[in-house]
Chain A
């Protein structure tokens, strides 16, 4: 029955069963359930399996012994191996002794039997007042009205308004780590914050990077996205250890305790002053411009693969249609554990998200080429892996590309030159992979956490005829490299490859390297030539998100 489900439906059921579903997805899941009897039936079957597995006695006894021995000390509130009938028996005799207990409502019976559970009391220092597209670390649910105690709020996307019980209002924008210390104090570990303090909350303290900012009834911003902490007063007055700041003043708090006056840049906090909803006219116009350029790419004879991720094909969430004309189903990608999400212009167009370790889009691109270029729009949430995949060929055999971003934020483009050649030289560029001579060309650092959630345009070109590798970010050349003697290869291939991860599905070993990109890709183009800087600039201009 589970094979009748779409990938999305199956994921809902799995996540619901695992209790990892997000509130937003749960809402969609429930709406879909109400409409679809077959989804309900499949969900029942899945949950029944979950229940049956739990009651199944078929597992090896010795294993159970080993496991329970290890877990002694854990409180098992209602262990499965105490049959419910035994509990009923206890209740029965208790019932005889305490005549009348069964006459009361069963709720009070369970109250008697679980009297050791401490009473729940409300506690907290702050409450979530509002959320805009907010998600917290690990998909934790964050809900409007939720009480926050002394805890760290790790916001990975969107923005949130947190009202402290002292009266202070904090507006925080992802990515950010905000610690609620008390009703009168918060610590900003990272991210951007706008604080609004009414007279009643004067004395509210924000701590960041070990420095204390005391609010004297005002509105100010704190930004940790550069190395030092930036504090800017929008109105009123704040007090630092060594000085007071008034309206329009801004300082950088350095790690060494120095405080340096800097220019105001209130616009960098603009997202925290109300976020517009819906699609702006600018976004619609930008999307139309992109659509024209996308149509041109579809028919461009130099383009050997094109995935525009325009929208989720209805009922086939696992198919990623090729954007090339004439259409060729052979070039379609297969999406695995990915999610169709909003792209560069919100809901105007889709993108694919690769947040799970197994997320990937598998493609097969035939042919042999004498040069190639890769262009994509990506929105990286964080660089979680040592290597974070953009586009990697499976086998990394001769002439095959590996395009990825190193954990340190450098983009790297590699080509396998000769996998049978022993590689001894090590000059910082050469990667030693046993017998395999490959070469990766690194850009300087092009990404850091301050760019999390932003759409960026990335291009790498490999031009053996001119012995040149060139790489671009947002239309600008960021690095170029000479292809050295011995690393020139002009029989280039792709074959089986993956967008957003690295797969070796033909190996017998089930283990795989995890290189999923924690983020989204909303367009990927492969050209069979090295495109020029002008063309890169044009692709960027025609695809910009605003």
Chain B
């Protein structure tokens, strides 16, 4: 990284990071118990990756590079986590991270298929998904707002996610990508 011109580097960094941010969050989600934890990891990676951006070789895979950083962040995050959190152990985090790095393309294909599958979802189910994935609000609150018990809410959500996964798998099979 050209030390005399940090602004240009910064623009490149922001461009790369923005481009790969959802892939990174996706990767982090597989290692830690909740979205919130994944957000924390992404936030930490964003800072560390910028700090170490001079070590990044332009032309190599940026997403793989930040995923490796995320792997270490997840491990140290795990060590700081309250003991009573239901989090994967370090062995499993390592396994999941190493296997995830080989699946980045597949995840990207799934993400694209998901966009199409969501379009075909019945309106009511789309509203459920939207409710469930509104940040900053707990499931109990969402369930209350939707007028159902939390158990019912999860059940519907599970069903919708299952349907979406089937749709994604079917689409990718159709395209010969899975």
Chain A interface (Cβ < 8 Å from any Cβ of B): 1-3, 10, 14, 16-21, 23, 26, 30, 33-34, 37, 40-41, 43-56, 58-60, 63-64, 67-68, 70-71, 74-80, 83-85, 87-89, 91-92, 102, 106, 109-110, 141, 143, 146, 337, 356-358
Chain B residues with CB under 8 Å of A33's CB are: 88, 92
B75 CB–A CB distance under 8 Å: no
Other A-B pairs beyond A19-B34, A56-B115, 10, CB < 8 Å: A41-B99, A48-B30, A55-B22, A75-B136, A76-B136, A84-B17, A85-B46, A106-B48, A110-B44, A141-B84
Task: Enumerate the 10 nearest inter-chain pairs by beta-carbon distance, A residue then B residue, closest first.
Answer: A76-B136, A51-B29, A51-B26, A26-B86, A2-B165, A55-B22, A44-B30, A59-B130, A85-B18, A14-B158
> Is A88 touching B22 in the complex (CB atoms < 8 A)?
no
> Is A19 touching B118 in the complex (CB atoms < 8 A)?
no
B2 CB–A CB distance under 8 Å: no
A26 to B51, CA, bound (A): 36
> Is B26 touching A48 in the complex (CB atoms < 8 A)?
yes
Q: Mark B139-178, 1 if CB is under 8 A from A, else 0.
A: 1000001000101101101100110111011000000000
> Is A14 touching B43 in the complex (CB atoms < 8 A)?
no
> Is B103 touching A44 in the complex (CB atoms < 8 A)?
yes
Chain B residues with CB under 8 Å of A77's CB are: 36, 136
Chain A residues with CB under 8 Å of B13's CB are: 88
> Is A64 touching B130 in the complex (CB atoms < 8 A)?
yes
With contacts A23-B86, A74-B136 known, is A87 near B154, CB below 8 A? no
> Is A55 touching B47 in the complex (CB atoms < 8 A)?
no
A154 smallest CB distance to B (angstroms): 15
Q: Is the interface of A mostly helix, strand, loop or mixed?
A: helix
Q: Can you list 10 residue pairs at the A/B interface with Cβ under 8 Å?
A: A16-B33, A44-B100, A53-B129, A54-B25, A56-B115, A56-B133, A60-B126, A79-B135, A85-B21, A92-B50
Range class of the B interface residue count = 35 or more
State which of B36, B42, B158 has its C-beta within 8 Å of the C-beta of A84.
B42
A40 to B95, CA, bound (A): 9
State which of B36, B42, B84, B139 has its C-beta within 8 Å of the C-beta of A18.
B139
CB contacts between A and B, total, < 8 Å? 182
> Is B154 touching A50 in the complex (CB atoms < 8 A)?
no
A183 to B39, CA, bound (A): 38
> Is A91 touching B50 in the complex (CB atoms < 8 A)?
yes
Chain A residues with CB under 8 Å of B118's CB are: 56, 58-59
- Minimal Cβ-Cβ distance residue in A for B29: A51
A102 smallest CB distance to B (angstroms): 5
State which of B14, B25, B84, B132 has its C-beta within 8 Å of the C-beta of A85.
B14
A314 to B28, CA, bound (A): 33
State which of A14, A143, A358 has its C-beta within 8 Å of the C-beta of B84.
A143
State which of B25, B48, B92, B100 has its C-beta within 8 Å of the C-beta of A30.
B92
- Minimal Cβ-Cβ distance residue in A for B33: A19
Chain A residues with CB under 8 Å of B50's CB are: 88, 91-92, 102
> Is A78 touching B99 in the complex (CB atoms < 8 A)?
no
Chain B residues with CB under 8 Å of A50's CB are: 29, 35, 161
> Is A47 touching B95 in the complex (CB atoms < 8 A)?
no
A390 to B133, CA, bound (A): 37
- Minimal Cβ-Cβ distance residue in B for A113: B43
